[in-house]
Amino acid sequence: MKEKNIGAAYEMYFDMVYRICYLYMNGCGADSEDACQQVFLKYMEHGGGFDSGEHEKAWLIVTARNECKKQLKHWGGTLRESEAVI
């Protein structure tokens, strides 16, 4: 996949992916940004091959959802530093 296409996809879909992550991460901006970054890293690793723009969009939605679920599962058993009671 060309760098130009990655940049175009980032510009086109970043807001959508971030909003999905923000909802899954219960409004935590930092965690939403982390998940969003991971989604676009996976997008770069995927290397394209989408049938259409709708296929690309659907792939990003599913990947965002799965990444958020993975991160929530990871943090489920521990208390994050930002949530620690002093």
Instruction: Report d(CA 1, CA 4) in Å as an integer.
Output: 8
pLDDT tier at 82, thresholds 50, 70, 90: low
Mean pLDDT of 18-34: 91
Q: Is the pLDDT of residue 25 over 80?
A: yes
- The tens digit of pLDDT for each residue in 28-52 reads 888 999 999 999 999 999 877 788 8
Burial annotation 41-79 (CB, 10 A radius, 16+ → b, else e) = eebeeeeeebeeeeebbebbeebbbebbeebeeeeeeee
pLDDT at 59: 95
Instruction: Report d(CA 24, CA 1) in Å as an integer.
Output: 29
- 24 neighbors 72 (Cβ within 8 angstroms): yes
